[in-house]
Amino acid sequence: MNAGSTSLKYKAFFVPNLSIVDEGQFSIDTHGKEREVEEKSIFLKLIAKISERGDIVAFAHRVVHGGENFFGPVVVDKSVLSELKKTFDLAPLHNPHSVSFIGLAMSLLPKARNVAVFDTGFYKNLPDVAKIYPLPYEYFEEGIRKYGFHGISHEYVAMEAAKKLKKPLSKCSLITVHLGGGSSVTAIKNGKAIDTSMGFTPLEGLTMISRSGDIDAGIVFYLMRKYKLNIKSIEEILNRSSGLKGISGLNDFREIMDAADKEEHRSILAFDMFVYKIRKYIGSYAAILGKVDAIVFTGGIGSGRPKTRNAIMKGLTLLKGVKKMAITTNEELSMARKALGLLK
């Protein structure tokens, strides 16, 4: 179960060999109480469909943010579910929906086990220089740190890249680039993540479809003072109205690409800003890695049409000889493996 802000993607697997049974995606375009009703309707349709192929024994749920308490996969009981509800402020576009589906699974199929798999898990052991923000140190002691996201995807494609390179992952230095509705870059040295572009929340880093990514924090104070905005309004602007959408006025990357092809100025600017920031992160991660075996692109945009990858690589003349790969991620298979390993 891979719940996002506007969709639920799923894959069903037979156990123990994890051969695929079914897969699909539901779009979700409601909010508030209507969203709760729609999620329950979707879940009932899903379990009815899958149950025709066999008994559902376990669910693996992607949870974007585990907060301070959860990094590795965990079997969810009522106490864990209660703790997960405390993470909503850390990933407001994702965690409430993941937790909603976990609650539905626990109540409607009480005999099935539920395992939460965290996007933050791959980044548990980031070095201090990467994970600690230059704020008063007591904030770090209270849990304000870089957590990183898309970790399930970055870890999966890193493993696949190592296979293609015919090297153990523990001997690979990689830059993995996940580009989709949310986007992030990760530096991997000897198989371990040493830095990543997303931070305390999934708002930091690259320019994304509707998220701003990196901005001067002073802009927030300025906007609040000048336009008398409250915290909720600022969150809405930075998470839902900024990024490529804010620049181009369009909310779909394919539409932005099509408009850019027609020489629509704001769409060209949005695409160029997107590419520029990715290139900037790749260059900085190449500097801290020292040696790069491959740059690995994934996500709906990253492993989709090559135009974006080519535009990014065109400006990276210092990395001209480095291998470039496009690998389709499989977060659901990775989650199923982790859940099965835990339940065994």
Residue 122 and residue 152 in contact, taking contact as beta carbons nearer than 8 Å: yes
HEC states along the chain? CEECCCEEEEEEECCCCCCEEEEEEEECCCCHHHHHHHHHHHHHHHHHHHHCCCCCCEEEEEECCCCCCCCCCEECCHHHHHHHHHHCCCCCCCHHHHHHHHHHHHHHCCCCEEEEEECCHHHCCCCHHHHCCCCCHHHHHCCCCCCCCCHHHHHHHHHHHHHHHCCCHHHCEEEEEEECCCEEEEEEECCEEEEECCCCCCCCCCCCCCCCCCCCHHHHHHHHHHHCCCHHHHHHHHHHCCHHHHHHCCCCHHHHHHHHHCCCHHHHHHHHHHHHHHHHHHHHHHHHHCCCCEEEEEHHHHCCCHHHHHHHHHCCHHHCCCEEEECCCCHHHHHHHHHHHHHC
- Strands 58-63 and 74-75 come out as unpaired
The answer to whether residue 29 is catalytic is no
Q: Rg of the chain's alpha carbons, rounded to an integer?
A: 20
Q: Tell me the residue type at 293.
A: D
Report the 10 Å Cβ neighbour count for 252: 13
Alpha-carbon distance of 221 to 139, in angstroms, equals 20
Evaluate the omega torsion of the peptide bond into residue 110 and state whether it is cis, within 30 degrees of 0. no
Indicate which residue of 22, 29, 89, 119 is catalytic.
119
Active site residues: 119
